[in-house]
Structure 1
Amino acid sequence: MSAPVVARRPRALVVAAALPLLVVACWAAVRGLEATSLFSGGPTASVWLWAPVAALLAGQTVLYACERPHRADALGQQALDRLRVAVLMPVYNEDPAYLRAALTALAAQTRRPEAVHLVDDGSDVDYTEIQDWWTRHAHETGVHTSWQRTPNQGKRRAQATALEHADQADIIITVDSDAMLAVNALDEVLQPFADPRVQGAAGLVVAANHRATWLTRLTDLYFVANQLVDRSALSPLGAVMVAPGSLAAYRAPILRDHLPTYLGEKFLGRPVQFSDDSLLTLFALLKGRVVQQPTAVVFTAMPERTGHHLRQYLRWMRGSTIRSLWRARHLPLTHPAYLAQLLRWFLQLLCTGALVWLAAVHLRHGTAPSPWLLTVPLAIGYAQALRYLTLRRSDETPAHQAVTWLLTPLALAWGWTVLRAVRWYGTLTCGRTRWGTRTTGPEVTLATP
């Protein structure tokens, strides 16, 4: 299975279409707050409550509209061509078909890595056949490779074991074992490193199995839109807070210099097994800029069952809470990522508080919420989800993509209810630092014709 081809539609049209929806959202919010009669101050109080949120949305829209793919000039490209690139791939209970597809995509890159180092972290799956095939295939394509099997010690230890074989590398690229890179993904993710200030670069993650279930379809919509809104807004500032494990690139000293801290991270006295990608990103932020390269596309397997989806999201939210504390401790107060984190928590508290408050008031009085208030998240959601339409996949028709975009209300309802509850539960239980998924074998398998 080869990765689909991804192109980009004109962004200006999507940004222009988003602006009216954001204006509608601001206007509806004011009307809705007035209609609830909850504020004795009347319209003035309503405006003052909504104004900060409207300003944040407007600022975010301007920033993500400013994002451009990084491009090296002629001299910069010559410097990039001289860089030695090593790919680290930990493997644990991965579906063999996904693993083979990931390795096939690596060997087919327009800019092949000098080396690919795999570590099987004590999987319950027998990969002997794939290991033999890959060893031959890598040799035929001129890629140096190593494959080791170790007792199960976790993803970070597996990466460190792989890193031991990459002592000559200038750039370390981390990929997951289900990550199928678009054919030019490595070439694209290296482009930002022509700027010596850049210490890390994030790829753009899309769902490989977006057609599998309604859940994967909604997750793809949410995930792609979030990257092209939130990360795209932070990228011009060099303040991307999480470079995804599916495809991230770092200057090699980021990993080598911080390896003891990376392997020894503890929270409340317990070893932290997750949130590895956000910790590497934090190391890079402390040394320079971390950006997103939206043209470096990677296809990954999204959970197809609700239980797997919720356990994955719970792990992410526990990791997000821990990482927020580390950023607050280590980043300068004036760092854009520090300020972005404060704003993110402000919006979470404001939205959650408003949701609980309005629900309690209307339940108490037996009244329905104002339709104007329901218009607010819908208009904002549709405006931001328009970013999903900027990508054009060779394995998806425009009609199918448009239908996915029209499902935005379902994604919003899921996010505002179930995922919001999981987020706060994850915050309250962040001391539980075990991985939590794929403990007995593959949870997602690649459908074959």
Structure 2
Amino acid sequence: MLRQLDELHVSILVPVYNEDPGYLRLGLESFLRQTRRPDSVHIVDDGSTSSDYAEVRAWWEQAARQAGVAGTWQRVPNGGKRHAQAHGVGVSPDADIYITCDSDSCFAPNAVAEIIAPFARPRVQSVAGIVIATNNRANLLARITDLWFTTSQLVDRSGQSAVGAVTVNSGPLAAYRAEVVRDNLGSYLNERFLGRPVMFSDDSLLTLYAQERGLTVQQPSAVVFTAMPEKWSHFTRMYLRWMRGSTIRSVWRMKYLSPARPAFWLHLMRWFQVFLVQMVTAWLLLVEPIAFDNLPPTSMLWVPFLIGWAQGLRYLGVIRSDERIRSRAVTWLMMPLAIILAWTALRWLRWYGMATCARTGWGTRQNGAEVSLSAGPTSVPPVGAVPAQRSSPTPVVKLLDPESEQTLEIALPRR
């Protein structure tokens, strides 16, 4: 089994558009320190206007050559993330597995080895990694986003994975059998909704292609670090893009997924739950007080918080050596803020995103990087250094996995 996995040609596709050079280099360094290095890395600068990345490119080409990692670096006219990925696919015809990531993705050292491990099962067509914030302590918004995002992956997505029906892989780290990407490249590049080209929701579309062929799973030991929004404007635009993409993808799932697949029924149940929650909430907050003079039950004030804290215990199961447990506990205690945010601003943004799903533009990073890797705790080493050659101890994150009842130790990126 291990020999079969070792023989797979693994290619990493890295689309780049107006990314912060510090985050880009941090991610590229992480490819070189992998326990199972990729066979090739294909970087495509999608017509960036904020930088030409000359220094990062010069460092990368030398470091990759020394590490024995093949690759290409292309600069192409701006065509969107999907077209940038397609350029990478075009120069890697021998790949057996494509790993997709974002330009600010920083892989844990065993991420490649872990993300391809489920492909030992022939029916598995795609694998989702676990996304953790690099900048989780930047401010309150980053903390709450990290809490919400990590918990949803380890609760909701883990449940989907148990029946081989993960509906959406995350952009910072996902892997696909090469045929899933190559055979659907035409429709992937030319998706249209209401006559307009769709520029976002690329990860969910690739996951849909994989669902049509077999199992889509999550690998909780494949960890990637990414930059979470630090400003509300950035978060709002990102969330609206997600909600618009989710709406479009929901239409395609209902149209193309077979009822014989668990993913179809999970998707149907999700929308039933969404509408049921809205109806019950409106009834308790509007109809009961106005029509029957009954105030909402007090349980509405505390039950959601108890459920949130219970689910958030999975967040405490991710132990980072670069962060004290009391800091993570403080973040966990902020779950009521995340729930209030979900019940207020995010609820309206969700419905607004659904109503405006015909706006299919990307929406972020048009004027440069939204988040920058500042000098200090997350700064990158001097040009020319190869992280794998450092002799200082590497911090680790311990992920408590209830399915295997094991503690997984995963090295963190150098901070």
Aligned to 1:412: 339
Q: 2:89 aligns with which of 136, 150, 163?
A: 163
Give deviations 1:122-152, integer Å, cap 9, x for gaps: 0012211111110001001110011010111
Give the deviation of 1:369 after TM superposition: 2.9
Aligned to 1:325: 251
Aligned to 1:100: 25
Give the deviation of 1:362 after TM superposition: 6.1
- Whether 2:347 is the aligned partner of 1:423: answer no
- Whether 2:195 is the aligned partner of 1:269: answer yes
Using the size of structure 2 for normalisation, the TM-score is 0.88
Inter-partner Cα distance in structure 2 for 1:334 and 1:403: 44
Give the deviation of 1:375 after TM superposition: 2.4
Inter-partner Cα distance in structure 2 for 1:113 and 1:334: 35
- Whether 2:87 is the aligned partner of 1:87: answer no
Aligned to 2:262: 336
- Whether 2:121 is the aligned partner of 1:222: answer no
Inter-partner Cα distance in structure 1 for 2:47 and 2:275: 41
**What is the identity, as a one-letter code, of the residue corresponding to 1:106?**
F
Inter-partner Cα distance in structure 2 for 1:257 and 1:314: 30
SS in 1 for 2:344: helix
SS in 2 for 1:290: strand
Inter-partner Cα distance in structure 2 for 1:345 and 1:182: 34
Inter-partner Cα distance in structure 2 for 1:405 and 1:380: 12
Aligned to 2:283: 357
SS in 2 for 1:392: strand
Aligned to 1:152: 78
Give the deviation of 1:354 after TM superposition: 2.0
Aligned to 2:44: 119
Inter-partner Cα distance in structure 1 for 2:27 and 2:293: 54
SS in 2 for 1:246: coil
- Whether 2:353 is the aligned partner of 1:433: answer no
Inter-partner Cα distance in structure 2 for 1:363 and 1:152: 54
**What is the identity, as a one-letter code, of the residue corresponding to 2:239?**
Y
Inter-partner Cα distance in structure 2 for 1:245 and 1:284: 15
Using the size of structure 1 for normalisation, the TM-score is 0.82
Give deviations 1:405-444, integer Å, cap 9, x for gaps: 1111000000111111111111111111110111110011
Give the deviation of 1:176 after TM superposition: 0.5
Inter-partner Cα distance in structure 1 for 2:54 and 2:293: 64
- After superposition, residues 230-245 of structure 1 pair within 5 angstroms as 230-245=156-171
Aligned to 2:392: none
What fraction of aligned residue pairs are identical, expressed as a percent? 55
SS in 2 for 1:237: coil
Give deviations 1:245-288, integer Å, cap 9, x for gaps: 11000110111100000001000000000000000000001001
Give the deviation of 1:373 after TM superposition: 2.3
- Whether 2:183 is the aligned partner of 1:257: answer yes
**What is the identity, as a one-letter code, of the residue corresponding to 1:385?**
G
- After superposition, residues 21-40 of structure 1 pair within 5 angstroms as none
Inter-partner Cα distance in structure 2 for 1:379 and 1:351: 17
Give the deviation of 1:403 after TM superposition: 0.9
Unaligned runs of 5+ in 1: 1-75
Q: Which has the higher contact order (CA 8 A, sep 6+)?
A: 1
SS in 2 for 1:116: strand
Give the deviation of 1:201 after TM superposition: 0.3
Give deviations 1:18-65, integer Å, cap 9, x for gaps: xxxxxxxxxxxxxxxxxxxxxxxxxxxxxxxxxxxxxxxxxxxxxxxx
Inter-partner Cα distance in structure 2 for 1:170 and 1:375: 50
Aligned to 2:371: 444
Aligned to 1:371: 298
**What is the identity, as a one-letter code, of the residue corresponding to 2:236?**
L
Give the deviation of 1:350 after TM superposition: 1.5
Q: 1:283 aligns with which of 182, 204, 209?
A: 209
Give the deviation of 1:370 after TM superposition: 2.2
Give the deviation of 1:447 after TM superposition: 2.2
**What is the identity, as a one-letter code, of the residue corresponding to 1:300?**
T
SS in 1 for 2:162: helix
**What is the identity, as a one-letter code, of the residue corresponding to 1:104?**
E
Inter-partner Cα distance in structure 1 for 2:289 and 2:72: 61
Inter-partner Cα distance in structure 2 for 1:272 and 1:442: 22
**What is the identity, as a one-letter code, of the residue corresponding to 1:358?**
L
Judge conservation of contact 2:289–2:296 (CA < 8 Å) in 1.
no
Alignment length (residue pairs): 374
Give the deviation of 1:368 after TM superposition: 4.9
Give the deviation of 1:366 after TM superposition: 7.5
Aligned to 1:403: 330
Inter-partner Cα distance in structure 1 for 2:52 and 2:240: 29
- Whether 2:3 is the aligned partner of 1:78: answer yes
Q: Higher helix proportion, which one? A: 1
- Whether 2:316 is the aligned partner of 1:389: answer yes
Aligned to 1:58: none
Give deviations 1:366-410, integer Å, cap 9, x for gaps: 875322222221122111111111111121111111111111100
Inter-partner Cα distance in structure 1 for 2:110 and 2:375: 24
**What is the identity, as a one-letter code, of the residue corresponding to 2:342?**
G
**What is the identity, as a one-letter code, of the residue corresponding to 2:7?**
R
Inter-partner Cα distance in structure 2 for 1:379 and 1:342: 26
Give the deviation of 1:355 after TM superposition: 2.1
